[in-house]
Structure 1
Amino acid sequence: MRERPFVANLVSDQTIPKMFKVKQVFPRPKIQPEEIPQIIHTLLSGEKFSSKVKPGMHIAITAGSRGIANVALTTKCIADFVRSKGAYPFIVPAMGSHGGATADGQRAILEGYGITEDYVGCPIISSMEVKKIGVNEEGMDVFIDKNAAESDGIILGCRIKPHTAFRGPYESGIMKMMAIGLGKQHGAEVCHEAGFKNMAKYVPMFGRAIIKNAPILFAVPTIENAYDETCKITAVNAEEIIEKEPPLLQEAFANMPRILVDACDVLVVDQIGKNFSGDGMDPNITGTFCTPYATGGIKSQRVCVLDLSPETHGNGIGLGYSSATTKRVFNQLDLSSMYPNAITCTVLGGVRIPIVMESDKEAIQVCIRTCNEIDKKNPQVVRIPNSLHIEHIMLSESYYEEAKNNPNLIIESEPEYLPFDENGNLW
């Protein structure tokens, strides 16, 4: 057993309460994966979509950096449809500055989601080179991926979801996929330059310019339910995006999950990562917003992050909004992957380093120890696996009576102490 450092002694007597497992119950509209090929084929076979894809055309299909349910399958189905029309599809990573703002890094992200050339059956052309396609309403230059700009048509594959840093009629979705995703490092930087305060203005402004000046054909957006499952797939023609995206965003809001207790002293997040949220942990769930221009999520005094997901490849963006983390997280951080995203979006808080403790136990203890005006012997602690999968979570013993009286919380275990190994890590 390792020798206890002095800092650990400052929190070693802090009680970690007994925890119990609960299942959160949300509405669950769902599309089964085996249904997706037929749904997409039927949608795109409609005259207003199929007439836009002609034999011999080279068609760019966008794929982003988010961990979207069935993203590889939906991308493949779009490519299959394009091929069935005698055209030539290729995949373009549309993720702004993500992947360390490198072509190889962006390709690696797609491959991590199963979007490989072998699977989708067409080339993945990853490049950070952009081309100016015009100007927006304020005369600002508009750039998008060069290969997409020079294609015969662009199909926007994306997910529509509430954004983590601003509110507006267009948040994470079709407009943002064009304005920031296709814009690569250059376009993302231009769009972010005015800050998130103005993002609700600039995302649709750049999006409208891209619709006008680039060969956008249509979009195939998805919406997910509270369980990170596909619950809606639709198709939106280029000329309909401005009108049809806002109602789809409202549908996405209605399907968002949440932690079914309003507040806690300490929120423990087992893993953060770009596959769960662009912010590492979705503040719409965790309350860890990076700007004052969006609100929501659980209210907590402290947030404890225990690990990074393998899929995030060391990108610990979002860690800066936690109060404490572990040495294990610190040792995994890839600053060259984290910093480009933060610099591009002009928000640096997410890449700061919080208090680093040796173990899971010490990280949780320091968070409880530093809370103010709470019952330190019986604190309110919520533990989630990540911000994307919150069907099964843990609550401290202080929530037990509340959980028994909540019809949307199903108690799955009796309160018991968390199992730490001899090094103080959860197992």
Structure 2
Amino acid sequence: MEFPKWRRVRQHFEGPVVEDIPARVRAELLRVLAPADAPPREPGGLGLAHPRVWPGMRVAITAGSRGIANIPLILQSVVRTLKQLGAEPFIVPAMGSHGGATAEGQREVLESLGVTEDFCEAPIRSSMDVVQIGTTPQGMPVFMDAQAAGADGVVVVGRVKLHTDFKSPIGIESGLMKMMAIGLGKHRQALEIHAYGVPGIRDHMPEVAKVVLASGKVLCGLAILENAFEQTAHIEAVEPARIPEREPELLRQSAAWMPKLPVDDVDLLIVDEIGKNYSGTGMDTNIIGRIRIHGVPEPERPRIQYIFARDLSEASHGNALGIGLADLTTRRLLEKIDFQKMNENVITSTFLQRAAIPIVLDCDCDAIQAALRCLWGVAPKRARILRIPSTLQLEWLYVSEAVWEDLEGRPGIEAAGPFTEMAFDADGNLLTFESA
């Protein structure tokens, strides 16, 4: 089979960048936790009176499983600022069922992201133990990580972005509220919320977060937004009482900065790596236009006939949840799957199709040939093909000749090289972007 030629292309996106992350984190936290005009307060009190941090205060800092840009530096900056205020901070993994729903597995996830005790300058206290702190008006029990519940306060750190499972009518999707509910609630809360499927994370999750806020444990939220280049674009500390109203505004800004594929109609999308560090679903459903949840309609665009997932990121530790969003994969990826970790995650979510194994081919060349063979009425040379590193990295990509015909001359699109043949190594696998 004769494959189409392709060329490397660069997409130009717009969005701000936080140049001095430690300074921004420090300024934001001090603005909320220790304003200059704050009246004095006796140590040990809860509630919303300022200042919220006192000498010797034990403060838990949440750390999630996503591959957030600069997250080790952000957490280090939170630790240093809290120590400046006299507090005794520590980090708790806040990631529901990820890491195989084990304390050691969740610590490993953090370490793979660069979140270590040495770098962040604070102990990591990983435990799956929880305590019940209340009940929602709908009757759902609300749990909190036992280490965080035993602290004097919690700083909730999380990235705000569109969720990969649902669209919220109130603008609460993936962000601080979800971190308080499913992150701090650990595996126990994830099971409670996901037992209701999409209504659980869309409707019950915000109510669980409100109970966490009402506990008085949350000192503030630290919201992180990223631009289309996977750079830190905005960092903002939010007072507890304002989180439910501020997060929808931050979500709208995050959506405006979010990248996307350059065309809506694609015959074959080649994704070099899937993984939990790129998206909770391995591949961001907002990018690929596939949800694959029973009863949830699929997005109208983009319209992709076949998705080929080439490999699994090391940072996923074998959790290949999201492989079910693809149509083809490789034996290389299959052999990296830790089924215990993936199955624990997908069964907790209740979205079983997302862990279904697609057709497995021995090498990239075989997978691409199979996809092109199954394009009805489309000659392989005219196939519309895109290749991306991951759904989180869309600045650089490869496009076939048929796609380039739509892109040539479009503002924000730059050809970064001539058309070339698809290049494979001796085992039939695509060369890397740098080598191709």
Structure 2 counterpart of 1:218, one-letter code: C
Find out whether 1:341 has 2:326 as its counterpart: no
2:14 alignment partner, SS class: coil
Written as runs of structure 1 = structure 2, the 5 A alignment for 1:99-178 is: 99-168=99-168, 169-178=171-180
Query: Cα–Cα, structure 1 residues 398 and 47, in superposed 2: closer, same or farther, change >3 Å?
Result: closer
Amino acid across the alignment from 2:60:
A
How far off its partner does 1:314 sit?
1.5
Cα distance in 1 between the residues matched to 2:287 and 2:32:
40
Give the secondary structure class of the aligned counterpart of 2:380: coil
The separation in 2 between residues aligned to 1:158 and 1:48, in whole angstroms, is 17
Note the 1:400-419 alignment, pairs <5 A: 400-419=404-423
Aligned residues: 412
In 2, the alpha carbon distance for the partners of 1:295 and 1:255 equals 19
| Paired residues for 1:174-213 under 5 Å | 174-213=176-215
In the alignment, what sits opposite 2:58? 58
Whichever residue aligns with residue 336 of structure 1, its letter is Q
CA shift at 1:290, angstroms? 2.9
**What are the within-5 Å matches in structure 2 for residues 287-298 of structure 1?**
287-291=289-293, 292=296, 295=299, 298=302
Q: Label 1:81 to 1:294 Cα distance change in 2 as closer, same or farther (>3 A).
A: farther
1:377 Cα deviation (Å)? Answer: 3.5
Per the alignment, residue 258 of structure 2 pairs with 256
**Alignment equivalent of 1:242, drawn from 236, 241, 244:** 244
Bigger CA drift: 285-294 or 266-275? 285-294
Match of 1:37 in 2: 22
Equivalence for 1:24: 11
Q: Distance in 2 between matches of 1:129 and 1:248?
A: 31
Counterpart of 1:235 in 2: which secondary structure? strand
Give how far 1:404 is off: 1.3
**Residues in 2 aligned to 1:172 and 1:247: alpha-carbon distance in whole angstroms:** 13
What is the distance in 2 between the residues matched to 1:298 and 1:374?
19
Q: Which amino acid aligns with 2:232?
A: T
**Partner deviation per Cα, 1:91-124 (whole Å, 9 max, x = no partner):** 0000000001010110011111111111111110
Distance in 2 (alpha carbons) for counterparts of 1:29 and 1:294: 31
Q: What's the CA shift for 1:425?
A: 1.0
* Rounded Cα–Cα distance in structure 1 between residues aligned with 2:121 and 2:301: 40
Counterpart of 2:243 in 1: which secondary structure?
Answer: helix
1:375 positional shift: 3.3
Letter in 1 for 2:94: A
CA deviation after TM superposition for structure 1 residue 297, in Å: 5.5
- Identify the match of residue 304 of structure 2 among 290, 300, 303: 300
User: Are 1:232 and 2:234 matched, yes or no?
Assistant: yes
Q: For structure 1, which segment, 250-259 or 208-217, has the greater mean C-alpha deviation from structure 2 after superposition?
A: 208-217
Tell me the distance in 2 between the aligned counterparts of 1:150 and 1:349. 38
Match of 1:325, SS?
strand
Match of 2:285 among 283, 291, 294: 283
Contact 1:403–1:411 (Cα < 8 Å) also in 2: no
Deviates more, 1:366-375 or 1:212-221: 366-375
Amino acid at match of 2:4: P
2: CA distance between counterparts of 1:198 and 1:180? Answer: 11
> Which residue of structure 2 lines up, in the alignment, with residue 267 of structure 1?
269
Is the 1:319–1:351 Cα contact (8 Å) retained in structure 2?
Answer: yes
Tell me if structure 2 keeps the 8 A contact 1:258–1:297.
Answer: no
Q: Is the 8 A contact 1:159 1:222 kept in 2?
A: yes
Asked if 1 retains the 8 angstrom alpha-carbon contact of 2:275 and 2:312, the reply is: yes
Deviates more, 1:137-146 or 1:245-254: 137-146
The 1:256–1:240 alpha-carbon spacing in structure 2 relative to 1, beyond 3 Å, is same
Instruction: State whether residues 5 and 381 of structure 2, in contact with CA within 8 Å, keep that contact through their aligned partners in structure 1.
Output: no
| Structure 1 Cα separation of the partners of residues 418 and 251 of structure 2 | 39
Gap runs ≥5 in structure 1: 1-12
- Stretches of structure 2 lacking an aligned partner (at least 5 in a row): 36-50, 432-436
Letter in 1 for 2:28: L
Query: CA–CA distance in 2 between the matches of 1:337 and 1:288?
Result: 23
- Match in the other structure for 2:86: 86
Q: Determine what percentage of the aligned residue pairs are the same residue.
A: 41
**Residues 145, 202 of structure 1: CA spacing in aligned structure 2 closer, same or farther, 3 A cutoff?**
same
Letter in 1 for 2:63: A
Contact 1:270 1:386 in 2 (8 A): yes
Deviates most, 354-363 or 283-292: 283-292
Q: Which has the larger displacement, 49-58 or 323-332?
A: 49-58
Q: Secondary structure of the residue that 2:272 maps to in structure 1? A: strand
CA distance in 1, matches of 2:102, 2:32: 38
Amino acid at match of 2:80: D
1:192 counterpart letter in structure 2: H
Question: In the TM superposition, what is the alpha-carbon distance from 1:45 to its structure 2 partner?
Answer: 1.6
Q: 1:221 to 1:296 in 2, by over 3 A?
A: farther
1:389 aligns with: 393
Tell me if structure 2 keeps the 8 A contact 1:164–1:294: no
Q: Please give the per-residue CA displacement for 1:26-79, whole angstroms capped at 9, x wherever unaligned.
A: 1031112xx111111111222555610111110000000000011011111111
**What corresponds to 2:38 in structure 1?**
none
Paired amino acid for 2:144: I
Deviation string, structure 1 residues 221-278 (Cα, Å, up to 9, x no partner): 1100000000000000111111111100001100100011111011110111111111
What displacement does 1:374 show? 2.8
